[in-house]
Structure 1
């Protein structure tokens, strides 16, 4: 298979490719550029793999480096502090094998899914109707009487809660395993064929993927994947990455489907910031959330809801208001934050932006005629330890 390479955030000239090689509907941020007979690609906001119509694949590399991007993924989709050992192996594998993002995620998922089978799949309980000669569980009298009158054998009908492996977690992993299988090498497909076959044999498909994802997300937020079943945590985290990148998420389908595995870097960046801050402030009694504790709209009629990316509360009072911008902020970004500040009644707001060129935190301060203060804080994504330390001190440095 022919592989072409492009870099996130820059223009890459692609010799030998024609416009017809690309899907007719590209995601926002992926743009074809023409200069005479040359074809180029400018990609902002996506990394991963894009399947082309001629059978080749376009790899889009993250501009912050693959190890740093993997760290963002782990922090955005899981709890890195609880998965640190797995992350180190994940990242070192990516570097040592020089694998692409989609391949590393796929291989890591297959290993984790294999461990789930080896250590034992989770199960739930479902109510099922059972006929027998004696009552079992909850008796269903109407059905039982009808069977007795009809002279049927084993007339007693009961509703019994029986163990089942048909639960959202297993259905989602099974779906992700089948998607990830496409990104393996020929040898790896042979190596993990038993895993794929076992999942397809043991676990059924879902009638509602989005409902399953929402339930698992809720369980994640409540910390229900620890303890004896802790090995499910990493597997489900990788499952979310694969499914989300393939157009399956809890909010509805995206435009990016099929064999492409494009990961939205702005979404990963936003989740990363929020999870780092949530982890840093949880022990200090702060609540870090997307939006607000209650719904807030721009107008009294309820039109145009306002949902800042990161809102920090202390005793139900807002102490920090932030928005994530995976780019250089524009005037519209400033207008948006100003609207948030006025509507939420706070005197300051922060735009959290990436710094791709330095290892230090930089800051720009803007003051309105009403003395409201808006800051652009540029965080070094080439040095995530510095970034995470800065995020952990935002409330102390700038909180209301």
Structure 2
């Protein structure tokens, strides 16, 4: 059976018009490479779906009850061009819609039935894909959250779905990307990986460790490695990826997922599009203890007070000083200030925090507090 992407492209080629595939709630499942779409389809692609007003407008034309293709008219006020709607059903149940944009009425009604085989194939594929995806999601939950008995058989099933050996090293990549969870069941399978719906906004890719480990550290390369090779720049800019550590086998998936959750959390809070476990440094501690425990243990009260109220210049100076291996000269050069200014600011920091910056232990304590405070305190330091 063809993949949904193939069906969308093939139907577009058959009838010579840009083609969109959406689910019954007007959420995007696929679109052809012909990108000449109207405002409504642009919103569908870029903004997770159509507006309530647009959905109501289309439903008022009977598309939900239709058994055969029908034409919907244009509406300049809503930014809608005329199009052919092809209901996608399986065993009578509505699975979605193909939309063929036809602003000038070039697709004759006598040709609409040419879309039926594509709709039948898409309906069967969507029904099967959803059941398969639900089973994979359940197996994943058993592995990362269940007890040993539940997780052992689930891990074996998940490994089989991914084409992985049970003792093969794996990683988890968490991808926050608009509409990906909706599209997931219909995505074609790839050897060495399996996709899971982690939540409504985040999907997890369980993958063979080596390809991700060797991938270039940028979002387009990682997404291509995960099979998300169709570039949509506006979506790419709204995509955040967190990659967890390599674990020895799929039985250890909970550890890989925990690390990926930390990486995704850091990426969200810092506005970083790609965060890997290897680059987290002290922030890995976010995965081993509760925020309140980390704050109590590693962010002394005086340091927390300082971070909440300090001048940004003081925080920037001490952060740079610690990153520059306690070199006042390099700190002054980096900040473009006199070395005496650095010394003066550091004295202010010592008085406010009670930490002796001439002590290695003191510097370690303050650096850990600086790294963790934005994540574990009610409010992060001023920046």
Q: Same fold (TM over 0.5)?
A: no
Higher strand share: 1
Q: Which has the higher contact order (CA 8 A, sep 6+)?
A: 1
Report TM bin, short chain. under 0.3
| Higher share in helix | 2
